[in-house]
Structure 1
Amino acid sequence: MTAIPASAPAADARPGKKLNRVLWTLQILFGLFFIIVSGLPKLYGQEAAVQAFNDIGWGDWFRYFTGIVEVAGGIGLLVPRLSGLAAAGLSITTVLAAATQVFLLDAAALAPFPLVLAVLFAWIAYERRDSIVAVREMLSR
Structure 2
Amino acid sequence: ISHYEHGGIPQLLHKNRKYTPIFKQKVIEYKWLHHLSLNQSAAKFSIPNTGTISTWEKLYHSYGFSGLLAKKRGRPSMKKSKSKNKVNKPKKELSYVEKLEQEVYQLRMENDLLKKWHALMKQWEKEGRH
Report the structure, 1 or 2, having the larger helix content.
1
The TM-score normalised by the length of structure 1 is 0.26
The TM-score normalised by the length of structure 2 is 0.27
Of the two structures, which has the highest relative contact order with CA contacts closer than 8 Å and spacing of 6 or more?
1
